[in-house]
Amino acid sequence: MQNNLLASLKEHQNKLLTTWSQLLQANGSTDGVTEEEESKEFAALLLDALQHSNGNTDSDEFEKVYDLLIGISSSRGRRGFSPRENAQYLIAFKEAASSILSEIESDPVKLYSANLELSTLLNNMTILTFESYMKGREDVISRQIDEISEISTPVIRVWDGVVALPIIGTLDSSRTQVVMENLLQQIVDTGSSIAILDISGVPAVDSLVAQHLIKTVSATRLMGAECIISGIRPEIAQTVVHLGIDLTGIITKASLASALQTAFDMLQLTVVKRK
């Protein structure tokens, strides 16, 4: 059964809004104009829903409130509010509503049950805001992951017939897939016969990374191109030897410059200093 008291909050909408925005200002979780409009809309929808849906918190009216709330909290997330401030938004509303309830009702029993109902409703809404706040943040993270894997495997055409691919960071299975696809596609697109894989930016070469490198080299060779691995640092060289990884069938160089020199030799090009 819907508590009549909650329904009658609608009559005190303006007062509620004022108290609410005062509370928000007091704890600093507001940023002014945008906020006020959002709050007005939210309060109006919620109070309407309380008035019309007879205590059924799954009704269409409440669905609208939830949708709006999700929108508000993800927009607050983007505007840089902390999770604490986001939660205070609804908690302040609860305080404001509860103070109005105690003004319009003096019977403690009725007041208690109205407050209880209000608490349950707004607690659920607070959970909802948290979920959507987190979701907003997670969306940002997953977008960044996509962007990172996109920009982290650039294939550079260093010379006519020579492409280079600097690898930075860890080479895991999914990344190897992207690297290999990009490299093979570029070999076709540019008609290159030599590909240089630079691993200066790879922190450690373990047997899995080595296996991925060997596979990439084999795939490149199948395309009729030669693959040179460059950027092997002294400590990486020693570690690879201790691990027992056999890279003897692969042309490896210490630096990108010497790899390019080797590529020139293969293409029978000479770089000469102009007099």
Residues at the site binding other proteins, with contacts judged by CB under 8 A: 170, 172-173, 203-208, 210-211, 234-236, 238-239, 242-245
Tell the smallest beta-carbon distance from residue 73 to other proteins (Å).
Answer: 27
- DSSP-derived 3-state class of residue 43: helix
**CA–CA separation, 17 and 21 (whole Å):** 6
By beta-carbon proximity to other proteins, the closer residue of 119 and 238 is: 238
CA of residue 30 relative to chain centroid, distance: 25
**In whole angstroms, how close is the CB of 56 to other proteins at the nearest point?**
41
Q: How far is the CB of 250 from other proteins (least distance, A)?
A: 14
Question: Distance between CA 37 and CA 23 in Å, rounded?
Answer: 16
Q: What b/e readout covers 94-132, taking b as 16+ CB neighbours within 10 angstroms?
A: bebbbebbeeebeeeeebeebbebbeebbeebbebbeeb
Residue carrying the six token digits 């691995």: 229
Cβ atoms of 202 and 169 closer than 8 Å = yes
Distance of closest approach, residue 177 Cβ to other proteins, in angstroms: 13
Number of H helices, E strands in the chain: 10, 5
**197-207 b/e with 16+ CB inside 10 Å = b?**
bbbeebeebee
The smaller minimum CB distance to other proteins, of residues 243 and 257, is found at 243
- Nearer residue to other proteins within complex by CB, 242 or 273: 242
Do the beta carbons of residue 226 and residue 252 sit within 8 Å? Answer: no
Nearer to other proteins, 106 or 174 (CB): 174
Q: How far is the CB of 159 from other proteins (least distance, A)?
A: 32
CB of 204 to other proteins, least distance (A): 5
Please say which residue, 76 or 212, places its beta carbon nearer to other proteins. 212
